[in-house]
Amino acid sequence: MSLTIPTLQAVDITKSFTTGSTPLMKGKTVTAVDRINLTLFAGETVGIAGESGCGKSTLAKLLMGLTPPDSGEILFNGNGLSTLDSDQRTKFRKTVQMIFQDPFSSLNPRMRTGEIIREPMIIHKLWPTEQQREKVIELMAMVGLSRGQYDRYPHEFSGGQRQRIGIARALAVAPSVVIADEPLSALDISIQAQIINLLLDLQGSFNLAYLVISHDLSVIRHLSNRVLVMYLGKIVEEAPTEAIYSGFLHPYTEALLAAIPGSKLVPGATKTALAEEQPSSLAIPSGCAFHPRCPYAQELCREVTPPLVEIEPGHKAACHFSAGIYRKDSM
Amino acid sequence: MSPSTPDLSLSTPLLSVNNLSVVFNLPFGTLKAVDSLSITVNRGETVAIAGESGCGKTVTAFSIMRLLRSPAEITGGEVFFNGVNLLAISEEEMRKLRGDSISMVFQEPMTSLNPVLKIGFQIVEGLMTHWTKDYHLAEKEALNLLSQVGIPLAKERFNAYPHQLSGGMKQRVMIAMALACRPQLLIADEPTTALDVTVQAGVLELIDRLKRESGMSLLLITHNLGIVEERADRIVIMYAGRAVETGPTTLVMKSPLHPYTQGLLASLPQNSQPGSRLPTISGNLASGRHLEQGCCFADRCLLADSECKTDHQHLRDMGQGHHVACWRAK
């Protein structure tokens, strides 16, 4: 593993925003992403789990290079994004593509399907113009759309079919990394299964690396090799997928798993409804940000922020008491 | 029995929907949204209507509440609530029931509250319509309700506007409004779909607790089979406007009989080996216009033969209260 360079890597990245700054009011600062490290190798899938407001979409934007981090660096094949010249940057944009959450608002309603999928090819000058149409039709077949649908408009398609158009568009420039921000949450159960299969098939055919962002832990488990759990801008747990589901080491992960309704997913997670709601990211609690909601919190948690430390090989957690709570046998 | 003499005997179901049919009159033709649907909800019971978007679950709820507007039209059936056919009474009589004996929690707390009124007033409004003319009494009760649904600092929040509250808090306000007049039946249409999972667990627990305390019945509409499994006594699976399978939740979830229910449960990621291809239901949801004859699921069904395309399927009793609309089910 140490010999290969990750396709995409985030080193200690932080991003904050200032809100409501007017002449009369001083703005407040929201730290949306707080010193996050992440690696993504070719062909693997990393899942990011967390609730709304935890910073997962900001993280996606940072990794896409759509917004620069305040500090830290994003490395693409080992090169810092900020050091790329404009040619290399164009190449980076071609390599990292995105699938969006809402298949209704992420397609231009006034463009025909085929043109939507062809547009990235035009921008990146990928094929001679006369070949592009054939390439688009190939892509459409790959995602399960027919040649006859080339000239249709997005409103003529169902949600699942639109998500297929979005996927074809992302693949049009032969990327090596696809960032999927809640790719399934707008879809019905039977359509979700079809799109999951499509994502798995395409990964197999093109050796794609996926970064799947989702609040749905059963989807994350199905697709990912590794999982990161985010809470208020920080990673609180990181592990190979099965390790998280068989032996979670952070109380927030436990709460997330226990909250899945009707879940037989994780027998060990105790059903304790969290006492409070997630605090606003404008007022992140002191110490461990999870302490006001944590059933195991102690005095130390109110004062000292726990670092993300490796507890088992490849399994990291940011909790003072991980070992005490979850690994009683080894104590 | 005339519609104005309610039947209050405890043995009759609280709500009984008989052969309800609803159509949408659209420029290009008539679309069947709900087709001969029958549902009963007994006192104190939780019944879930589950299905994918477009299957007619919300239209059913709106029909019971008589909230449908043109181009939707109820073309047949009856909705008996305490023995009174809600579809036959006047709008004035219906207004007396709505929010009083039957209440509804809507899907999106963000758009269901009035943005220009304080949340406290929105609860008081319902109380003053149905319960008391005394503002101070209504205010006291509203405060009481806010703390009952787990809103901290109820006194201060009473004067808050909806935009000042989080999604979970807004849904709690909606629940407080719906429960203000102690309804006998609460219809919850996807009450937690817009909420985060940990918040969802809290809201569902709240509805369950209030239901136990007051003995009301709950008609829960959801696409989430996990929620159904956890909360409902009985389940109605809908497909293309029809009920395809009904029965006690544990029975339906453990041994589904209809090919659609089986396909739906099999396609959940948690029922497969991680990383494997999921079993899928082929094809797309049939549009309501093509339902003139035959089984509504026939186009997508692996077991279907020529008879399925021509013979209408009715719910058949399979024992233990389990009904299925498929003649091949055993």
Chain A: closest CA distance from residue B201 (Å): 6
Q: What is the pLDDT of residue B1?
A: 41
Chain A: closest CA distance from residue B230 (Å): 5
Task: State the CB neighbour count (10 A cutoff) for residue A327.
Answer: 13
B 239-298: CB under 8 A from A: 263-264, 267-270, 272, 274-275, 277-281, 284-285
A67: Cβ–Cβ under 8 A, 6 or more apart, which residues? Answer: A15, A58, A61
Mean pLDDT, residues B22-38 taken together = 90
Mean pLDDT, residues B243-265 taken together = 95
The pLDDT of residue A330 is above 50: no
Q: CA-to-CA distance for A203 and A107, rounded, in angstroms?
A: 23
Nearest CA in chain B to A274: B198
pLDDT per residue as tens digits for the range A61-78: 999 999 999 999 999 999
B323 to B12, B78, B243, B305, B326: CA distances (angstroms): 20, 21, 9, 21, 9
Calculate the average pLDDT of chain A.
88
pTM: 0.87
User: Above pLDDT 90, what percent of chain B?
Assistant: 58
Nearest to B197 among A194, A259, A277 (CB): A259
The pLDDT of residue B4 is above 80: no
Chain A: closest CA distance from residue B136 (Å): 30
In which band, very low, low, confident or very high, does the pLDDT at B32 lie, cut at 50, 70 and 90? confident
B52 touches chain A (CB under 8 A): yes
Q: Is the ipTM above a cut-off of 0.85?
A: no
Chain A residues touching residue B228 (CB < 8 angstroms):
262
Q: CA-to-CA distance for A45 and B24, rounded, in angstroms?
A: 44
User: Best interface-test mutation with B: which of A45, A51, A202, A222 has the largest number of B CBs within 10 A?
Assistant: A222
Pick from A314, A84, A261: nearest CA to B196:
A261
The pLDDT of residue B82 is above 50: yes
CB contact at 8 A, B171 and B191: yes
In which band, very low, low, confident or very high, does the pLDDT at B271 lie, cut at 50, 70 and 90? confident
B122: Cβ–Cβ under 8 A, 6 or more apart, which residues? Answer: B113, B114, B173, B177
Q: Does A134 or A258 have the greater pLDDT score?
A: A134
Calculate the average pLDDT of chain B.
89
Q: Does B42 or B166 have the greater pLDDT score?
A: B42
Test A261 with B198 for CB contact under 8 angstroms.
Answer: no
Task: State the CB neighbour count (10 A cutoff) for residue A50.
Answer: 26
Phi/psi of residue A147, nearest 5 degrees: -55, -40
Test B200 with A261 for CB contact under 8 angstroms.
Answer: yes
Least confident of A86-90, A272-276, B280-284: A272-276
Chain A residues touching residue B263 (CB < 8 angstroms):
190
CB contact at 8 A, B105 and B171: yes
User: Above pLDDT 70, what percent of chain B?
Assistant: 94
Mean pLDDT, residues A11-33 taken together = 82
3-state helix, strand, coil in chain B (%, to 5): 35, 25, 40
Test B278 with A193 for CB contact under 8 angstroms.
Answer: yes
Q: What is the pLDDT of residue A188?
A: 85
Q: What is the pLDDT of residue A216?
A: 86
In which band, very low, low, confident or very high, does the pLDDT at B329 lie, cut at 50, 70 and 90? confident
Q: What is the pLDDT of residue A120?
A: 95
In which band, very low, low, confident or very high, does the pLDDT at B67 lie, cut at 50, 70 and 90? very high
The pLDDT of residue B144 is above 60: yes
Chain B residues touching residue A221 (CB < 8 angstroms):
269-270, 274
Chain A: closest CA distance from residue B228 (Å): 8
Nearest to A261 among B199, B224, B278 (CB): B224
In which band, very low, low, confident or very high, does the pLDDT at A303 lie, cut at 50, 70 and 90? very high
Mean pLDDT, residues A181-192 taken together = 86
Q: What is the pLDDT of residue B147?
A: 86
Q: Is B94 left (phi over 0), alpha (psi -120 to 50) or beta?
A: alpha
The pLDDT of residue A266 is above 80: no
The pLDDT of residue A268 is above 70: no
The pLDDT of residue A96 is above 90: yes
A294: Cβ–Cβ under 8 A, 6 or more apart, which residues? Answer: A251, A252, A288, A301
Nearest CA in chain B to A277: B199
Q: What is the pLDDT of residue A2?
A: 46
The DSSP element (H or E) to which A14 belongs, if any, is: strand A8-19
